[in-house]
């Protein structure tokens, strides 16, 4: 590439002004892509053609920054973050990149010039749903903040051909549809057919003596798969830094085909190809629940191996020795899904790069950080030893060796404490043997963190207690955050404009500055404008609800919203019990002066999670009855919004009055939807769980509707013996609600349909809905009272937004950078490529 003079530019200026781009240039570029990329004349262009042309026009503006950023990845002294995650729930790119380039208005005008409405194009974009829920979305927010803070970083993951399924609702039940997100092509990715690595599976190992007389292990696999890099540029907000997300697609290795081909086994060769490509075919649709399938372990190892090989190649490209690898890279393990990386890096260093064990272990232990995202026992990953040995025989040897050395150290510190040693071991040996991935991650990392204060404290006292006692200095908290670019500026332009009109736009990068809004909470004119923005957002959502469900809702009613994955611990059915309670009040007293509410639910259930799917059916069944009962007279509406995803989330959060964050205390590690709602001016009804605790701390107890048991109380009551039935028997309203569901009232007279749900509440109630019921209902009554005083409510909403600064992912990423990764910003200097670049 021809390099001309290097030129420093003002990073606060937009692309348009920086490169002298004008609207005319933008229009020309747009039309060129329409013609040369899509092969269309303006008159015959479809919506997709226009979208593609717009996407390429915007992408062109990213590439100059991208090449300059990537150039610095292999500059000595620039430490790079490698963020390993099995999921990245990015959401649509076009609007976000326009925001970060600061050319939103210009592109809007350019598209109007070709006779196409920008919103139609934004709606047309298929989102990359390469994640399930909170964990995947967090990874996406973190990529945005890393780039915005000018931290050199690469996200590494899997390019699933099919992401999270599309949800349809038929007869009230969830139906899963394949997510064919690549059907119309993906203008945001750049395939790198020359960036490939081989990944081995299966086979066996054998010992041998190397030239120096050292004992080594040689792994002879029975399968080899190739990973191919697909890169997506990740631009920061109004900066030159444009990082990349590198996703791996699995392909067959040709040499393997030939072996079969030569003996005439054409079918076998094709089978091999199909088999290899299976690895990156589909995202496992489970959130917080493991399936234990071999293909899932194959996916994990596949992307981890490709990513580590890639980082090693980049490291060697700067000419430094691998013993300094941890000085050039900081690698974060997003949950245990990539934790086989600990064994794989050891294998690469020791077996492939002939490093001695102790040096390799030093490098490994200093390069990794591990983030834990859950305390739920069913979500803690363990792999049956058999399965692990068959797929990754060499890694099992390495894990045994790590374990042997580790437990020797433990025995010195805790002599004769066999119970503790058994708990710390990387291998679970009670009954069937398992590899414990969290233990592997802990032993192989320099830093371990939880995702909210309460969660980190619980980690230290429960699931990772033994590790905390061993290495207290490794533990820290990093409360989650979300990016205000996507979750405020892009999704809530009305609110953004209003805030800008009073305090400017500095808050978009320094969210703490929202504090300056506090003084407007008492300003009548401001409150009226605030209410108008909220009403506008509610009207827009009402239109979308009508389009998607056929249900018409009243924008003047309170929008009470719970959107998140469906899980018993998140207690969507507690919300349903409240709805049924309100309904019973109306049936008992048809003239009741009740605050009109629209209760909106949304979220996907894991396809194999029976109870979660039954909860969806219950919501829809209750909705059917309540929405059609003339006695209700618009005082209560229930909606299940189908196919909740990033795209619909962007229209839902801004329209909420009330945010439901009602998990059993101690079960939700952090939550991030809670932050998105509050940033958009919704008030929270919630338990003292996850980040709710800190949100309440920030916005003030007066501006948060708290109910329910604390995590401590939950644990105590459980240990003393919890009896849900006695609560049911002693609370008439609760009994009436449960009985109505159990009677078949919502299931056309069929008492069996919801019996599993009712029975699980009456006889187990693992998540203590009954214990929290009355406190929840009372709290909801306080919510309704508060909403009647619309000025007071708006004041509280403004204060919520004003005090959300802490929950920017920029704050979270700054903490990771300083305390875990030890990386600092690298200002990307733009290079003038002369005629090469527009
Ligand atoms: C997932 O989305 C989360 C944790 C997991 O262990 C898995 Br698997 C998937 C979520 C937590 O449930 C949320 O509480 C948290 O906010 C989010 O991860 C991001 O940390």
In this predicted model, what pLDDT tens digit does every residue of 446-475 receive, in sequence order? 999 999 999 999 999 999 999 999 999 999
H or E element at residue 170 = strand 166-170
- % of the chain surpassing 90 pLDDT: 88
Does the annotation count 570 as an active-site position? Answer: yes
Cα of 334 from ligand 1 centre, angstroms: 10
Buried b (16+ CB within 10 A) or exposed e, 637-659: bbbbbbbbbbbbbbbbbbbbbbb
Question: Which residue's CA lies nearest to atom 16 of ligand 1?
Answer: 671
- % of the chain surpassing 70 pLDDT: 96
Tally of CB atoms within 10 A around 718: 13
Let me know: does 561 contact 660? Beta carbons within 8 Å.
yes
Which residues, other chains included, contact 252 with Cβ-Cβ below 8 Å and sequence gap of 6+?
225, 226, 272, 273, 275, 276, 277
**Model pLDDT for residues 318-345, shown as the tens digit of each residue:** 999 999 999 999 999 999 999 999 999 9
Per-residue confidence at 4, pLDDT binned at 50, 70, 90?
very low
Which residues, other chains included, contact 40 with Cβ-Cβ below 8 Å and sequence gap of 6+?
34, 46, 49
**Model pLDDT for residues 36-51, shown as the tens digit of each residue:** 999 999 889 999 999 9
381 lines ligand 1 (CB under 6 A): no
**Model pLDDT for residues 548-573, shown as the tens digit of each residue:** 999 999 999 999 999 999 999 999 99
Cα of 428 from ligand 1 centre, angstroms: 24
Angle at 221 between CA 219 and CA 223, to 5 degrees: 160
Ordered DSSP codes for 139-163: HHHHHHHHHHTT--EEEEEE--SB-
Dist CA 130 CA 767 (whole Å)? 29
Does the annotation count 672 as an active-site position? Answer: yes
Question: Could you tell me the sign of the dihedral formed by the alpha carbons of 369, 374, 379, 382, in that order?
Answer: positive
Task: Note the pLDDT of residue 15.
Answer: 43
Task: Note the pLDDT of residue 5.
Answer: 31
* Ligand 1 atom nearest to 565, measured from its CA: 2
Task: Note the pLDDT of residue 835.
Answer: 65
Task: Note the pLDDT of residue 794.
Answer: 98
Per-residue confidence at 30, pLDDT binned at 50, 70, 90?
very high
User: Using the 8-state DSSP alphabet, how is residue 520 labeled?
Assistant: G
Which residues, other chains included, contact 197 with Cβ-Cβ below 8 Å and sequence gap of 6+?
226, 227, 305, 306, 309, 310
CATH topology identical between 76-91+127-478 and 486-613+646-722+765-803 = yes
**Model pLDDT for residues 723-776, shown as the tens digit of each residue:** 999 999 999 999 999 999 999 999 999 999 999 999 999 999 999 999 999 999
User: How remote is the C-alpha of 809 from its chain's centroid?
Assistant: 12
Is the pLDDT higher at 257 or at 286?
Answer: 286
Task: Note the pLDDT of residue 21.
Answer: 66
Catalytic residue among 18, 446, 565, 571: 565
Question: Which residue's CA lies nearest to atom 7 of ligand 1?
Answer: 288
Catalytic residue among 509, 564, 573, 647: 564
Strand 434-436: give its sheet, edge to edge.
382-384, 434-436, 427-428
669 lines ligand 1 (CB under 6 A): yes
Take residue 408 and report the two structure tokens written for it.
């020797």
Indicate if the pLDDT at residue 388 is higher than 80. yes
**822, 823, 824, 820: which is closest to 446 by C-alpha?**
820
* Ligand 1 atom nearest to 671, measured from its CA: 16
Indicate if the pLDDT at residue 259 is higher than 70. no
Task: Note the pLDDT of residue 463.
Answer: 96
**Model pLDDT for residues 211-224, shown as the tens digit of each residue:** 888 888 999 999 99
Cα of 333 from ligand 1 centre, angstroms: 13
Q: What is the mean pLDDT of residues 479-497?
A: 98
Cα of 723 from ligand 1 centre, angstroms: 29
Domains of the chain by residue range: 1-75+97-126, 76-91+127-478, 486-613+646-722+765-803
Indicate if the pLDDT at residue 818 is higher than 70. yes
Dist CA 505 CA 518 (whole Å)? 16
CA 313 vs CA 317, 325, 360, 723: distances in Å: 6, 11, 16, 59
Pocket test for ligand 1, best of 89, 285, 288 (most atoms within 8 A of CB): 288
Is the pLDDT higher at 395 or at 113?
Answer: 395
Task: Note the pLDDT of residue 3.
Answer: 34
Locate tokens 């991030």: which residue? 672
Task: Note the pLDDT of residue 255.
Answer: 60
Domain formed by 76-91+127-478, architecture: 3-Layer(aba) Sandwich (3.40)
Catalytic residue among 57, 232, 664, 672: 672
Dist CA 428 CA 357 (whole Å)? 24
Per-residue confidence at 250, pLDDT binned at 50, 70, 90?
very high
Let me know: does 332 contact 371? Beta carbons within 8 Å.
yes
Which of the given ranges, 24-38, 64-78, 253-267, 297-311, has the highest pLDDT on average? Answer: 297-311
Ordered DSSP codes for 624-656: HHHHH-GGGTTSEEEEEESS--HHHHHHHGGG-
Cα of 102 from ligand 1 centre, angstroms: 31
Q: What is the mean pLDDT of residues 133-157?
A: 98
Per-residue confidence at 113, pLDDT binned at 50, 70, 90?
confident
Ordered DSSP codes for 338-385: TTTHHHHHHHIIIIIS---HHHHHHHHHHHEEEE-----GGGS-EEEH
Question: Which residue's CA lies nearest to atom 1 of ligand 1?
Answer: 135
Indicate if the pLDDT at residue 1 is higher than 50. no
Task: Note the pLDDT of residue 672.
Answer: 98
Per-residue confidence at 834, pLDDT binned at 50, 70, 90?
confident
Cα of 85 from ligand 1 centre, angstroms: 12
Task: Note the pLDDT of residue 474.
Answer: 98
Angle at 246 between CA 29 and CA 140, to 5 degrees: 85
Task: Note the pLDDT of residue 14.
Answer: 40
Dist CA 34 CA 38 (whole Å)? 5
Buried b (16+ CB within 10 A) or exposed e, 63-79: ebbbbbbbebbbeeeeb
Burial of 326 (0-12, 13-18, 19+ CB in 10 A): buried
CA 534 vs CA 246, 648, 680, 808: distances in Å: 38, 17, 9, 22
Does the annotation count 635 as an active-site position? Answer: no
Strands 368-371 and 427-428: unpaired
Give the residues across from 217 on adjacent strands. 207
Superfamily of domain 486-613+646-722+765-803: Glycogen Phosphorylase B; (3.40.50.2000)
Indicate if the pLDDT at residue 163 is higher than 50. yes
Catalytic residue among 570, 597, 637, 696: 570
Cα of 674 from ligand 1 centre, angstroms: 13
Take residue 821 and report the two structure tokens written for it.
């990764």
Pocket test for ligand 1, best of 86, 87, 286, 287 (most atoms within 8 A of CB): 287
Dist CA 46 CA 567 (whole Å)? 41
Dist CA 101 CA 490 (whole Å)? 12
Per-residue confidence at 10, pLDDT binned at 50, 70, 90?
very low
Per-residue confidence at 261, pLDDT binned at 50, 70, 90?
low
Q: What is the mean pLDDT of residues 412-433?
A: 97
Task: Note the pLDDT of residue 75.
Answer: 80
Task: Note the pLDDT of residue 19.
Answer: 45
Which residues, other chains included, contact 718 with Cβ-Cβ below 8 Å and sequence gap of 6+?
none
Task: Note the pLDDT of residue 258.
Answer: 56
**225, 340, 221, 329: which is closest to 275 by C-alpha?**
225
Which residues, other chains included, contact 679 with Cβ-Cβ below 8 Å and sequence gap of 6+?
482, 484, 487, 488, 653, 801, 804, 807
């Amino acid at each position: 590439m021809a390099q001309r003079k290097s030129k420093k530019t003002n990073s606060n200026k937009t692309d348009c002004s920086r490169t002298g781009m004008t609207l005319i240039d933008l229009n020309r570029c747009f039309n060129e892509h329409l013609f040369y990329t899509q092969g269309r004349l303006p008159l015959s262009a479809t919506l997709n053609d226009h979208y593609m042309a717009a996407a390429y026009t915007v992408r062109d503006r990213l590439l100059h920054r991208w090449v300059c950023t990537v150039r610095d990845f292999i500059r000595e002294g620039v430490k790079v973050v490698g963020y390993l995650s099995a999921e990245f729930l990015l959401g649509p790119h076009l609007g976000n990149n326009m925001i970060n380039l600061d050319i939103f208005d210009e592109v809007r005008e350019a598209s109007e010039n070709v006779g196409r409405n920008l919103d139609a194009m934004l709606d047309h974009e298929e989102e990359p749903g390469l994640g399930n829920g909170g964990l995947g979305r967090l990874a996406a927010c973190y990529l945005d903040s890393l780039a915005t803070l000018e931290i050199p970083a690469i996200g590494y993951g899997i390019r699933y051909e099919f992401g999270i399924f599309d949800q349809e609702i038929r007869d009230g039940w969830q139906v899963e549809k394949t997510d064919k997100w690549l059907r119309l092509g993906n203008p945001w990715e750049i395939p790198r057919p020359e960036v490939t690595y081989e990944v081995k599976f299966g086979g066996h190992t054998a010992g041998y003596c190397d030239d120096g007389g050292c004992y080594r292990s040689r792994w002879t696999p029975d399968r080899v798969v190739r990973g191919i890099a697909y890169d997506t540029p990740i631009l920061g907000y109004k900066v030159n830094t444009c990082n990349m997300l590198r996703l791996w697609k699995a392909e067959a290795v040709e040499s393997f085909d030939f072996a079969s081909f030569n003996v005439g086994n054409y079918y076998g060769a094709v089978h091999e190809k199909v088999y290899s490509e299976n690895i990156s075919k589909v995202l496992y649709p489970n959130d917080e629940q493991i399936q234990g399938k071999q293909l899932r372990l194959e996916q994990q190892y596949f992307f981890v191996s490709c990513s580590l090989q890639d980082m090693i190649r980049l490291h060697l490209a700067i000419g430094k020795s691998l013993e300094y690898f941890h000085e050039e890279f900081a690698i974060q393990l997003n949950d245990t899904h990539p934790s086989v990386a600990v064994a794989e890096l050891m294998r690469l260093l020791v077996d492939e790069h002939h490093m001695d064990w102790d040096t390799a272990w030093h490098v490994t232990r200093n390069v990794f950080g591990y983030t834990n995202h859950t305390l739920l026992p069913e979500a803690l990953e363990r792999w049956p030893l058999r399965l692990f040995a068959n797929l990754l025989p060499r890694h099992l040897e390495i894990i045994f060796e790590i374990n042997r050395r580790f437990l020797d150290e433990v025995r010195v510190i805790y002599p004769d404490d066999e119970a503790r040693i058994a708990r710390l071991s990387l291998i679970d040996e009670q009954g069937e043997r398992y590899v414990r991935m969290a233990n592997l991650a802990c032993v192989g990392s320099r830093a371990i963190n939880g995702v909210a204060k309460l969660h980190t404290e619980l980690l230290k006292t429960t699931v990772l207690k033994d590790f905390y006692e061993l290495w207290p200095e490794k533990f820290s908290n990093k409360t989650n955050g979300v990016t205000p670019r996507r979750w405020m500026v892009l999704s809530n332009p009305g609110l953004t404009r209003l805030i800008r009109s009073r305090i400017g736009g500095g808050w978009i990068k320094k969210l703490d500055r929202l504090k300056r809004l506090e003084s407007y909470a008492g300003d009548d004119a401001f409150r009226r404008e605030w209410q108008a923005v909220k009403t506008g957002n509610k009207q827009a959502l009402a239109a979308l609800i009508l389009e998607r469900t056929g249900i018409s809702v009243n924008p003047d009613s309170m929008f009470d919203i719970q959107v998140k994955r469906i899980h018993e611990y998140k207690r969507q059915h507690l919300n349903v019990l409240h709805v049924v309670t309100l309904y019973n009040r109306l049936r008992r007293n048809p003239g009741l002066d009740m605050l009109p509410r629209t209760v909106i639910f949304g979220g996907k259930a894991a396809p194999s999670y029976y109870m979660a799917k039954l909860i969806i059916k219950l919501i829809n069944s209750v909705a059917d009855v309540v929405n059609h009962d003339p006695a209700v007279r618009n005082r209560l509406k229930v909606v299940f919004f189908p196919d909740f995803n990033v795209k619909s989330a962007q229209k839902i959060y801004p329209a909420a009055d009330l945010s439901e964050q009602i998990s059993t205390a101690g079960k939700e590690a952090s939550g991030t939807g809670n932050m998105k709602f509050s940033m958009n001016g919704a008030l929270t009804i919630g338990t003292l769980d996850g980040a709710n605790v800190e949100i309440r701390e920030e916005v003030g107890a007066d501006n948060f509707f708290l109910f329910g048991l604390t995590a401590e109380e939950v644990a105590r009551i459980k240990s003393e013996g919890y009896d849900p039935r006695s609560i049911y028997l002693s609370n008439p309203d609760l009994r009436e609600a449960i009985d109505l569901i159990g009677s078949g009232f919502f299931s056309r007279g069929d008492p069996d349909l919801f019996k599993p749900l009712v029975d699980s509440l009456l006889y187990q109630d693992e998540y203590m809905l009954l214990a929290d019921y009355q406190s929840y209902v009372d709290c909801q009554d306080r919510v309704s009272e508060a909403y009647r005083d619309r000025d007071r409510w708006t004041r509280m909403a403004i204060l919520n937004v004003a005090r959300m600064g802490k929950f920017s992912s920029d704050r979270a990423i700054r903490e990771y950078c300083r305390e875990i990764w030890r990386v600092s910003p690298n200002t990307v200097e733009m290079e003038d490529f002369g005629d090469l670049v527009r």
